[in-house]
Structure 1
Amino acid sequence: MKPSFFPLIHWAATAHPCHSMKKTFSRGMIAMGLLSALFGCKKQDPAKAESFPPIPAWRPAVVIATDRIVDRFRYYTDGKSDFVVLKHGTCVIVPDGLTDDEAGREAIAIVSKIFNYHPDMNPAPMDDGNILVRYNHPAFNVVLNDIAQQHWATIDARHQDALATHEVLITPLGPNKFDEFGKKALWGRCCFFMDAKSPEVVRVVRRTNTGIEQDASHGAGTAGAAPGQ
């Protein structure tokens, strides 16, 4: 049974409970709620069942810098975790010791859990200037700051399209009002939605710097992440 309300979203720089992620600057916590369902949910019309879970209208035309994403995420986790990278850059931490196939299936299952409840966004500013967007299960999106800056005009213009259908987020600036940090985080979350809708494993990265990794796309993704117009 679908929940009748969505949980709060917390934006903070606190560490993920399962992994140290110590490379964050301190940032005040901002409680962000999804208000659209707080006034009661109507039963869904079966004809509109495909609209759940709600998704953003914006699907950025993303070319992922896979090697850079792997490098940064390995740095954030101190190389202590196996993780899977999906086509649009979502990184998913999986238990150590799984085969590549098992790791891929586990990553897709984790993303599905987040997507079918709601992607509670918890973005953190990192010490290298990037943003790490985290969720209520161990999946993450790395927003590379230099790429975001290159495409800032598009992100600034289209960030409202990065909200899910009927989604209302409360920030200190007001409902659905975001500063630069928030707009970039929303853009990063769009990549999660695209991976959740069409999950495709492109790389399995093993813990520590052993170099044991399998690139399912045979070297795909060396350019920066560019949002679509």
Structure 2
Amino acid sequence: MRRSFIAGLLAVFGIRKVGAVAATAKFPPMPAWQPSFSQPLDRVVDRISYYSDRERDFVVFSNGTSVILEDGLSDAEAKAVSLKVLSDILNYHPDMSPTPMDDGNILVSYNHPAANVVLLDVAKAHWTEIEDRHLDGLTESEILYTPLGPNKFDDFGKQALLGRAYLFMDAQAPVISLIHRHT
């Protein structure tokens, strides 16, 4: 009886098998945009170091996502912590908090100790792609509310989506490029 009730209810909504729906759902959701350009990691390292007053260790992934570390971690611990932070962000939800910095760049931080820098000159050099693809930086069915309205982005917001796109790229294929020590 219960089985036929559930089957009937699912049929009303056009669903034939619960398993079929679960198999097609993709978790965690990923945006379609993977920027065709990268940022120079040496400049990302310099900016993260500057923003942290040159007092923090951090790990930098191949697309520039930086994970801020507690002091005193060994290299092995730093790698393990940074991989866990990326996983935690991706599997929780990559809520972003973009901040304009005093040098004109944007720092995109998350709900865990990680950030991406969007270098202003790199963004300007690739503005056509950012303008054309920024909405592809949203995940399926994602709605971000801005002062302009749902999924309406000014230039600042478009650059923030660029920074977050790099996070998604690093989380999907995490490759640690370097561990930066502040001393």
2:92 to 104, 109, 117: 117
State the partner residue of 1:168: 143
Corresponding residue SS for 1:84: strand
State the partner residue of 2:159: 184
- Asked if structure 2 preserves the Cα contact closer than 8 Å seen for 1:62 and 1:88, the reply is no
**How far off is 1:99 after superposition?**
1.6
- Asked if structure 2 preserves the Cα contact closer than 8 Å seen for 1:89 and 1:191, the reply is yes
Residues 1:48 and 2:3 aligned together: no
Deviations 1:58-117 (A, max 9, x none): 111233311100001100000111100001100001121112122011101011001001
Distance 1:63 1:172, change over 3 A: closer
Q: Which is further off, 180-189 or 57-66?
A: 57-66
Question: Following the alignment from structure 2 to structure 1, what is the Cα–Cα distance between the partners of residues 53 and 122?
Answer: 23
How many pairs align?
Answer: 166
Distance 1:44 1:123, change over 3 A: farther
Corresponding residue SS for 2:88: helix
Question: Following the alignment from structure 1 to structure 2, what is the Cα–Cα distance between the partners of residues 122 and 63?
Answer: 21
State the partner residue of 2:6: none
Residues 1:107 and 2:82 aligned together: yes
Question: Following the alignment from structure 2 to structure 1, what is the Cα–Cα distance between the partners of residues 103 and 152?
Answer: 26
Deviations 1:129-155 (A, max 9, x none): 000000000000000000000111110
State the partner residue of 2:71: 96
Question: Following the alignment from structure 1 to structure 2, what is the Cα–Cα distance between the partners of residues 190 and 101?
Answer: 27
TM-score (norm. length: structure 1)? 0.70
The structure with more helix, counted as a fraction of residues: 2
- Asked if structure 2 preserves the Cα contact closer than 8 Å seen for 1:92 and 1:107, the reply is yes
Question: Following the alignment from structure 2 to structure 1, what is the Cα–Cα distance between the partners of residues 19 and 138?
Answer: 22
The one-letter code of the counterpart of 1:75 is Y
Question: Following the alignment from structure 2 to structure 1, what is the Cα–Cα distance between the partners of residues 27 and 67?
Answer: 23
2:179 to 193, 200, 204: 204
Deviations 1:32-77 (A, max 9, x none): xxxxxxxxxx99933125x111110111123331110000110000
The one-letter code of the counterpart of 2:21 is D
State the partner residue of 1:16: none
CA RMSD in angstroms comes to 1.6
The one-letter code of the counterpart of 1:112 is S
Q: Counterparts of 1:136-175 in structure 2 under 5 Å?
A: 136-175=111-150
User: Percent same amino acid among aligned pairs?
Assistant: 55
Deviations 1:173-219 (A, max 9, x none): 111000000000001100000101111101000124xxxxxxxxxxx
State the partner residue of 1:82: 57
Corresponding residue SS for 1:55: coil
